[in-house]
Amino acid sequence: MRQCKTRVVRAQHNRQSGITLLELIIVIIVFSVLLGTILESIYYYQGKAEQAAVQRLVGHMRLALVGKQYQAMVAGTRLDLVALTRENPMTWLQTFPANYRGEIAKSTKENLTPGSWYFDVSEHKLVYMFSSKKSFLGDSFERWFFKVEFNRLPTNTAKQVEPSQAEPGVTLVQVDSG
């Protein structure tokens, strides 16, 4: 009887001295799921922050374009809108952003680092290449394209339009890649 009691005590002692392999596996699985969720959230918010930075810089370029148009209006000169549609919008800023790679031809686009701006000389488009890929399995990076285009005039010509609204102008818009 004494020997049986000793075995039970020894078995309980061995079980209480540490965690079992099953418990360790469960802890690892739970930790992995939590870590994956946190990393996914960080990845998502980094992408959103990058999009916000791009939109902020485009907003600055739009303000600079409006400033050019008003400056010409105040000076009483006519602004060459066709020439503005071919200009690099980055030149309107006082300083280039650190991640601006310059005016680039098609042949050198593949050598660009992700998270950078460039101006496509052949298509007259300003392009931002994001730091993250379109998908985990894909090998291409998401790009946003911007181009200076003419404003559309009102379609209803019977309606009286104020002179300031009838003036043609240009604006910086986001366009499709094609």
Phi, psi of 168 (to 5 degrees): -70, 150
CB atoms within 10 A of CB 118: 22
pLDDT tens-digit profile, the chain (178 residues)? 556 566 655 655 555 667 899 999 999 999 999 999 999 999 889 989 999 999 999 999 999 998 888 888 888 888 888 888 889 999 999 999 999 999 988 756 677 888 999 999 989 999 999 987 665 555 678 889 999 988 765 455 555 555 455 456 788 899 987 5
For residue 52, being part of any structural domain is answered with yes
For residue 7, being part of any structural domain is answered with no
Is pTM, for the whole model, over 0.85?
A: no
Number of domains forming the structure of the chain: 1
For residue 10, being part of any structural domain is answered with no
For residue 119, being part of any structural domain is answered with yes
For residue 58, being part of any structural domain is answered with yes
Contact 61, 92 (CB under 8 A): yes
Residue 113: give the domain boundaries: 25-153+168-175
Contact 95, 60 (CB under 8 A): no
For residue 163, being part of any structural domain is answered with no
For residue 4, being part of any structural domain is answered with no
For residue 20, being part of any structural domain is answered with no
